[in-house]
């Protein structure tokens, strides 16, 4: 289970993020990067952040601790910036946070020692599986912290859920944006990685991740008659995509062959 904290202080916005995330202090005094339910794509971005982040963690990748963060109206009222206050007012209630990594810096493949082949292959496989479009040279979304590589910002992943039409068919399609992945050239072990990931991920594990999604983030989706059916669709998609992983692995290998 994820921990739940209460935001006690809005520290600073991170304006490089399209949904205006922010560093907040929570009730135990620690800092989190908070993603707001009232921003941009609403709860779907938070669902993607949660589900993709937890899948990454189960695959042994470094993802900052995820936690639910309750936002009290008092925090919103104390913010003088009108744009930020509007965002906070729209996000009263349950939001999502990632543990803040102090003194971390953005990964740059030209400056930092590159990850080894095994790690690069796991990251590329993971991003192809969850259809994460945000791991490019322009928007790398990886941090170096305490000499380790950490993956952040998965709100743009799982974009199939913005339209549920033919979602099972779309689960079995190649992920062509993988050609822009900043680590693709290093990912020489994708086929071996695929076999290991398929053995590791299973229906029970994926269900346990989907069960973490708060019910209030799932209500109001007209495609489904119940929250249970909505959760079931996420599981069906992820299992179908896992079963068809050879399709996106082949696409990644094809794109990589054009780089090396």
Q: Name the DSSP class of 164.
A: -
Split at pLDDT 50, 70, 90, the class of 118 is very high
Pairing outcome for strands 31-35 and 105-106: unpaired
Confidence (pLDDT) at 111? 80
- As a whole number of angstroms, the distance between CA 79 and CA 179 comes to 42
3-state secondary structure of 260: coil
Residue 82 is encoded by which pair of tokens? 């009108």
Confidence (pLDDT) at 15? 67
Alpha carbon dihedral 99, 113, 130, 16, in 10-degree steps, equals 50
Give the global pTM: 0.95
C-beta of residue 70 within 8 angstroms of C-beta of residue 8: no
Residue at token pair 């990850």? 115
Split at pLDDT 50, 70, 90, the class of 62 is very high
- 24 vs 15 pLDDT, higher one: 24
134-163 pLDDT, tens per residue? 999 999 999 999 999 999 999 999 999 999
Confidence (pLDDT) at 223? 93
- As a whole number of angstroms, the distance between CA 121 and CA 132 comes to 15
Confidence (pLDDT) at 74? 84
3-state secondary structure of 173: coil
Confidence (pLDDT) at 17? 54
Confidence (pLDDT) at 228? 97
For the beta sheet containing 148-151, the strands, ordered from the edge strand earlier in sequence to the opposite edge, are 105-106, 142-145, 148-151
Contacts of 100 (CB under 8 A, 6+ apart): 23, 30, 31, 32, 33, 64
Confidence (pLDDT) at 80? 79
Sketch the domain layout of the chain as residue ranges.
4-99, 105-257
Q: Which of these, 66, 73, 71, lies nearest to 95 by C-alpha position?
A: 71
């Amino acid at each position: 289970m994820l921990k739940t904290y209460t935001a006690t202080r809005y520290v600073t916005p991170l304006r490089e993020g399209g949904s205006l995330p922010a560093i907040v202090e929570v009730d135990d005094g620690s800092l989190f990067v908070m993603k707001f339910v009232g921003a941009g794509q609403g709860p779907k971005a938070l669902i993607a952040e949660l589900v993709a982040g937890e899948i990454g963690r189960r695959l042994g990748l470094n993802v900052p601790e995820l936690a639910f963060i309750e936002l009290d109206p008092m925090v919103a009222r104390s913010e003088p910036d009108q744009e930020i206050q509007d965002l906070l007012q729209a996000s009263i209630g349950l939001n999502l946070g990632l543990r803040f990594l102090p003194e971390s810096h953005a990964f740059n493949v030209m400056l930092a020692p590159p990850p080894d082949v095994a790690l690069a292959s796991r990251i590329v496989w993971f991003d192809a599986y969850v259809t994460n479009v945000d791991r490019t040279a322009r928007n790398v979304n990886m941090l170096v912290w305490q000499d380790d590589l950490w993956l952040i910002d998965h709100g743009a992943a799982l974009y199939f859920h913005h339209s549920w039409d033919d979602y099972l068919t779309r689960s079995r399609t190649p992920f062509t944006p993988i050609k822009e992945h900043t680590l693709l050239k290093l990912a020489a072990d994708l086929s071996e990685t695929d076999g290991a990931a398929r053995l590791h991920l299973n229906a029970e594990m994926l269900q346990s991740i989907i069960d973490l999604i708060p019910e209030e983030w799932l209500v109001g989706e007209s495609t489904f008659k119940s929250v249970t059916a909505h959760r079931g669709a996420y599981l069906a998609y992820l299992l179908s995509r896992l079963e068809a992983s050879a399709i996106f692995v082949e696409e990644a290998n094809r794109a990589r062959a054009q780089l090396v």
